Each structure stands twice: as C-alpha cells, then as structure tokens.
Amino acid sequence: MSNFWKDAKQRKLLTNAGFSWLFDAMDIGMLSFIIAALAVSWDLGADQVGWLTAINSIGMAVGAALAGAMADRYGRRIMLLATLVLFCVATGLSAFATSFAMLCVLRFIAGIGLGGELPVASTLVSESVPIKERGRIIVILESFWAAGWLVAALISYFVIPDYGWRVAFIIGALPVFYAIYLRRAIKDSPRYVKQANEQKLNFLQRVRFIWSKPYRRSTLVLWILWFMVVFSYYGMFLWLPSVMVLKGFTLVKSFQYVLLMTIAQLPGYFTAAYFIEKFGRKFVLVVYLTLTAVCALWFGLAETEASLLTAGALLSFFNLGAWGGMYAYTPELYPTPARATGVGFAASFGRIGGILGPFLVGMLVASNVAISTIFAIFFVSILIGVVAILIWGKETKGIDPDAESQV
C-alpha cells in the first residue's frame, strides 16, 4: 500500500475535496436533464436551450479566472468554501425562477461558483499529496465527477418526471450545508502556506509570470487543450438527453440511457488513474482523447439502440478519463505562487469553449443540421487538442514545478 493511502489526513483531504467536486458535477449534470424538461414545459426553442447552457458556462469562465487568481492571493481553502456556497445558493434560487431571463441570471451566478470551485480544488489537492502519486490522486479526485453525474441522473430520473424541475433545483441547493462541515475539515496546502509566508506575487505579476518565456509554451498548450476538451464535452454531454429525444426516444427513456452511459465514466477514470503514473500524462491525454474523438463520430452516426448505447458508454469512458488526465496535468506546469492563477486561467479560457459548444449545437439543431455532422465537428476539435499536447506538451510525471521555478 502506498504512503498516501496510509496517511489518514491525506485520505480525508481527497474525500472532502472529492465531495465538493461531486456536488459541482451533480449541479451541472442535473442542468442537462432539467433543460430537457424545461424545453417541454416552457416550450423553449433549440436556440433558447443553447443560450441557457451557454450562460451557465459564461459564469463558469468568469468564476474559474476569478477564483484561481483569488486563491493565489487569499488561499485555496477560503475560495473552495466561497465557491461552494455561491453555486448552491444560486441553484436553490433557480427553483423559484418565473421567467427564462430570471433563470439565465441565476444560472450565470451559479456558474461563477461552479467554475471557480474545480480549479481551486484540484490545485489544493495537487499541492498536498506526494509527487510520485500526484497524477493518480488527481484523477481519482476527478472520478467524483462521475459519481456526481450518477447522482444527477438518478435524481432526474426519479424526481423530474413526477415532481418537476423546481424540486430538482432545490435538491441541488442542499450541499450548502456541506460547507459548514468543510469549514472545519479542510486546510490550505503546506506548499501554499510556506510560499505565502515567504513571497506573494500580485495579480499582474502572476499573469505576466504564466506568459513569461519559461512558461509561455505550456500556457498556450493548456489553453488550446482546455478549449477543445471543454467545447466538445459541454457541446456533447449537456445535449445528450435532448439528442436522444431527437433520435426518437422518449424523455424518460433518454434519461435511462444517459444514466447507463454515465456509469461508464467510473472505469474510465480508474484506468486513467493507473496509466497516468505508469506511462505519463501525455500518454493518457493523447490516447484517451483520440479514442474520445472516434467515439464521438460513432455516436453521431449511430442509429440503432445498441449502437447508441455502446458508442455513448465508450464516449463517456474515454472522455472522462481524459478529463482526469487534464486536471492532473495542469497544476503540475506551474510553481506554487502562480499555480492557481495558471490553472484558473486555463480553465476559464476552456469555458469559452463550454459557452460556444452548447450554443453551437442549439443553433445547428434549430437549422436542422444532422446530428452526425454536429458530432463530426467535435471529432475534429478533439483531434486539434491531441495534436497540441502531442507535439508541444511537456511531460510532468515525477517533476516538482517548485524545484524548477524561476519566481
């Protein structure tokens, strides 16, 4: 057994941060099901569905940049708590939305919290675990995302058809009580505490730092990678229930199928967690993203029930394994004084893709563009990310970015 799993404090940190990650995924996952129900009850057009998913991602882009920068200034712990509370409160208030415009405003606010929590949590855990196990632990942290989507799918399947989407939003607000526990249970990483006492760069210095000559190529690769992965992920997965309906299945049946596809995310994470320390970060990213692209093309072309389920399950398996690799890889490219800023800005730029992806799908569906053509766009975009990481990406397995720091 590794030293990490023998250390109760580190196991507790992973679990505590993991549940905050789970609640983030649960909120975003439920939104995809809620939107499918809203499209029916509020008679929303495909363009409005695209706008609603896009506005959530706009908030996530703002939140990732703000929370990342503020985490380097004020600490990882306080920003983790703040972002958790923010998205829970906004989600609860979404249950009482009386108009499409009001719901969009609330989802923007929720998005700020959702987008801010993820880079802060991954930075905190990455700084707190042994270097030789860092990649594996971050992928396991990311696996809580699949658990969150499973919870979202279960809530949506059992709650939305009988009790409506408003009750689902209220359930999504309940994790705010977890923040009360987390306030006492989680602390800043030793690396952050040490550097905060020795040196602290201001905001402009951190921005210049991540674009300075030693880090410029890594930052560029990350921004390309994040944009393409987030663009394709949110374009595909937020639309999955609706795409299943477009392919002729009932809303309830589509919820069942997406639940089955979501279960496939867990082995995707666990295999990536194994390979990331055995073969490295670039191996996991290149292999899993390439296979994600192939499965996206397959899913878009699939017509039979069996083909759709198989392609969707494999799409979930490889895509979420790649996400785990990306979250493990990103914090490893920057030293502690600018790490959360670098992670937050990469995630924020990626969220621009999360804005454009669902919006583009909405526009294309409204224009009666074939689903196969839409998923071919995602096939190409994912391969662009693969090329960037394969050619220009730096392998970070076993590297301590603080030891190489030029702060």
Question: Is residue 198 a part of any domain in this protein?
Answer: no
First and final C-alpha spacing in the chain? 36
C-alpha torsion 26→347→15→336, nearest 10? -160
Question: Is residue 400 a part of any domain in this protein?
Answer: no
Q: What is the pTM of this model?
A: 0.88
- Go through 385-406 and write b for each residue having 16 or more CB atoms within 10 A of its CB, e for each that does not: bbebbeeebeebbeeebbeebe
Estimate to the nearest angstrom the gap between the alpha carbon of 196 and the chain centroid. Answer: 28
Query: Among 405, 83, 67, 78, which residue's Cα sits nearest to residue 203?
Result: 67
CA-to-CA dists, residue 275 to 36, 82, 138, 269, angstroms: 36, 34, 13, 10
Q: How many degrees, rounded to 5, is the angle at CA 190 between CA 189 and CA 192?
A: 65
Question: Is residue 398 a part of any domain in this protein?
Answer: no
Q: Which domain holds residue 166?
A: 10-183+203-392
Question: Is residue 240 a part of any domain in this protein?
Answer: yes
Question: Is residue 189 a part of any domain in this protein?
Answer: no
Domain tally, the chain = 1
Question: Is residue 366 a part of any domain in this protein?
Answer: yes
Query: If 0-12 CB within 10 Å is exposed, 13-18 middle and 19+ buried, where does residue 252 land?
Result: exposed
Q: Is 166 helix (H, G, I), strand (E, B) or coil?
A: helix
Question: Is residue 5 a part of any domain in this protein?
Answer: no
What is the CATH classification number for the domain harbouring 248?
1.20.1250.20
Kindly give the confidence (pLDDT) of every residue in the chain, 407 residues in length, as a single tens digit, with 9 standing for 90 and above: 455 556 677 889 999 999 999 999 999 888 877 887 888 888 888 778 778 877 888 999 999 999 999 999 999 999 999 999 999 999 999 999 999 999 999 999 999 999 999 999 999 999 998 888 899 999 999 999 888 988 888 888 788 888 889 999 999 999 999 999 998 889 998 888 887 676 678 899 999 999 999 999 999 999 999 999 999 988 887 677 677 777 776 655 666 777 777 788 889 999 999 999 999 999 999 999 999 999 999 988 888 878 888 888 899 999 999 999 999 999 999 999 999 999 999 999 998 988 888 778 878 888 888 888 999 999 999 999 999 999 999 999 988 888 766 55
